[in-house]
Amino acid sequence: MGIITSTVVANATDKDIYVKVDIERSYLKTFNLTKNVSASVGTSVSSDAELAWDWNKIEAGYCKLVPKMHLKFYIGPSRKRIVYISVMRCDGKVITDSISKKKNHNVIILKDNQLVDAKKDSIWVDFSGKDHRTTDVRKV
């Protein structure tokens, strides 16, 4: 089994947003199996399998994230090192659409609908050192 990682999205806006975090997955599309049996002097059995994969398929629903809260999205074991973050406002306007970030990466959605990277050890602080919390940030 692999290591389960997480990505945190913090909502520093005054409105509800909807967030989706996912990884690329591969799904088995086709599986063809052929068996050949020969009953001559010696018995022999052979088989061939043909697999077809559907790569880069992303399926996930959106989670509602209320203002001044954050959500931790657990990413299951995967060889992929990238997650895709999609965010939209409750009026349907897309803030980000499948923006790629490394796994174990945190982001903050700002009031002006920008996405900024957050420090790993403090989900409300961006890399410039600015704290995007307000005094009424709710605890999770």
CATH architecture designation of domain 5-25+57-126: Sandwich (2.60)
Q: How confident is the model at residue 107 (pLDDT cuts 50, 70, 90)?
A: very high
Q: Can you give the three-state secondary structure of the chain, one letter per residue?
A: CCCCEEEEEEECCCCCEEEEEECCEEEEEEEEEEEEEEECCCEEEEEEEEEEEEEEECCCCCEEECCCCEEEEEECCCCCCEEEEEEEECCCCEEEEEEEEECCCEEEECCCCCEEEEECCEEEEECCCCECCCCCCCCC
Instruction: Name 70's bridge partners.
Output: 10
* pLDDT of res. 25: 58
Residue 59 sits at φ, ψ, to 5 deg, of -135, 120
Domain boundaries, the chain: 5-25+57-126
Answer yes or no: pTM beyond 0.75.
Answer: no
Over residues 17-37, the pLDDT tens digits come to: 999 988 765 555 555 555 566
Over residues 113-130, the pLDDT tens digits come to: 999 999 888 899 999 999
Residue scoring higher pLDDT (55 or 86): 86
Q: How confident is the model at residue 132 (pLDDT cuts 50, 70, 90)?
A: very high
